[in-house]
Structure 1
Amino acid sequence: MKCLKTLFSMIILVSCHLEYGDGRRILRIKDFITDTNHKNVDYSQVFQKAWKGLCEGEGEGTGGSSLVINENEKYTIQPQLFEGPCVSSYIHIQIDGKIEAPKRPKQWGNKRTESWLMFKNVESLFINGSGVLDPHGENWWRSVRHSKRPRTLSFKQCTDIIYNGLTQYNSPKNHISVYGCTNATLSNLTLLAPEKSPNTDGIGISLSHNIRILDSSIQTGDDCIAITGGRGGSSDINITRVACGPGHGISIGSLGKGDIDDTVENVIVRSCSFWGTQNGARIKTWHGGKGLAKNILFENITVTNTKYPIIIDQHYSNGGTGHVKGNAVKVSDVTFRYIEGTSASKIAIKLDCDENQGCHNIVMEHIKLTSAKPGKKLSAYCKFADVKASFVNIHINCGLYPQLLLLFSPLPKII
């Protein structure tokens, strides 16, 4: 946390005094171009040279390093791996211009790359700006299978990361991947892809701890945010003031696919909104999988024309098979609180839990959902769930599991 506080202090320093140096090493892309005519420049190689300069602390000054890409700058680059560890005490990249990938997949060079832009094993990295990342993923959707499409941006095995302010368009697959990271804040981001774009998740979090997603807008063809455990689990995730839609909602999961023991715990999703999404607050686990989803809070949520505003699905398959009979990811200690808005389907609350494990200690408080179709009544679907509900305007009957159901009307105003 000490490193993270240092990074936040550095944000203020960089924002106020970027043009004056202030002891930092200020680098620009043009500094690494050897062709004085700037014709036929391979900017992929130039960016690698710039990264080496950042990582090794080249340039003037006595502090950390900053690479500045101004508003009027535009670069086309092939896939890049920016790898640490670095000598610099911190690394700052300010992107106010546009960075794009080649428009055709065959122009990417290595089409089998995991990600277009990847930061790996980097500590104390701060990326900000008002610029744009555009990988031209629309050309991948039509011509390349999902499993072979790259993500736009990945942070892999990084520590103390801040990513703030940028806009990303049309990812071939996930817009952002956070994998194996500790202490990361992603904020004020805009991620955009059409509703029918395939598998264009907004932000995927896996095997990571102490991650914050704040004040962002995500429009995708898949999950706006998806949290998985991986081998080692994910924990302490905070998602606050995120606008999602269109898309598939904010999901814990999917968990338990294959032979991985997937664990996700201590997650807060707060003050988020969903518009025209397939799901709102969602937990999805593979039938027959292994793992744990525990201590999850969805609070102060607004849904508009959302198909399933609240859903726990322990029979998720996504077309897959081969599950071990009798296994199930354990889902417990989940709270849905202060959720209001409109449902696009009759079943506004769906708790489809496993017959062997069930879902335990599911708390629902102050839920007010109405149909997006005037005059239509809503219902809940519940199997094998231990639900404690109060101030919920939809009757929840979970059959075998005891529950406390208190119905009050009208509901108190949500602030």
Structure 2
Amino acid sequence: MATGKSPENKTSPENKSPKKLSIVEVSKRYGDVAALDSTDLDMAEGEFLTLLGPSGSGKTTLLSIVAGLTSPTTGEVWIDGRCSTRLPPFKREIGMVFQNYALFPHLTVFENIAFPLHMRRLPAVEVEREVRRVLDVIKLPQVADRFPRELSGGQQQRIALARCIVYSPSIVLMDEPLGALDKNLRDHMQMEIKRLHTEIGITVLYVTHDQEEALAMSDRICLMNNARIEQVGTPDDLYFRPRSIFAASFLGESNILDGVVQAMGEKAVISDQAGATFEARPDARFKTKERLCWMVRPESLRVTRDAGPPGNTLRGRLQDVVFAGGVTKIHVRTDQGGMLVAKQLTTANGVPHQGEEVFVSWSGEDTVLLPAAAP
């Protein structure tokens, strides 16, 4: 007679080391529409992982599946080495923070934070101790007796976070938690959430469409597009070493041009449509004579009146200068007909004038090769 364990009692996936969270071949379909293609993703304990992407990319669907609010069409969700795919949300020991805070308006701050502890039937003395502790952690002990309507948006968000972490959940899920805040307050709350993550050591799965937010807060970023994972890596990896045109375009500004591989070795040599050649960072994905795209970030470009030493250089004419405070954007139309945008720190010396001949140069190490766009 078979004695197999039920999915809820299974231990870690075969041939996989235990992780805080493992998503194994998870997908979600609504009829013929794929909200999430087959997806695999692991999280380590104490990690801050951000699901980043545009609307409809699948990030909120994936978060909802991890939370137990949506059932996957295929695949498994593992939390702390236990298969949790069929567990209801309240048995997953997961905390959630929403954009709208979801605070109870008729309860005080203390009562809001205490609510999940009362649901777990903790003794009153322990409830008092834990609520006071997290109020100290979020640096708002003075608002315990106030109601949510008496708090600022930033304070309400911190109370929502306190209510989430007071019972020490295994994973904290955050769905666009800062979307309703103005820029200054959002920047402050980014620092506050990162501080709490570092001090408490919580594991955070965070959803946002804001690239700057993801770059500033994350240990790793999972970039999503068209219901699938586009690239996973550190913020530095995704920004400086994107693996696709979408990744290069979605995270920050980029100059992307067509080219052909002329040589691939310790250094890559590529040519543009006019036949000019440039050095680039080598990439084993590409072969000689293969068509591709190449990318360089605006801040990696240097615009000068003189050609300078041999290297990656294009001549052109300055089309426009956009002053943006501490940074100036310089638009150059190259002799080959392409447009390059450079960013450089604004100085009192200024930049060349509109219509003036200039040279744009950059390092081969800053030149990233990307698969050509689909025809």
TM range (shorter): under 0.3
Q: Which protein has greater RCO, CA pairs closer than 8 Å, 6+ apart? A: 2
With the length of structure 2 as denominator, give the TM-score of the two structures: 0.26
Larger gyration radius, structure 1 or structure 2:
2
Q: 1 or 2, which has the higher helix percentage?
A: 2
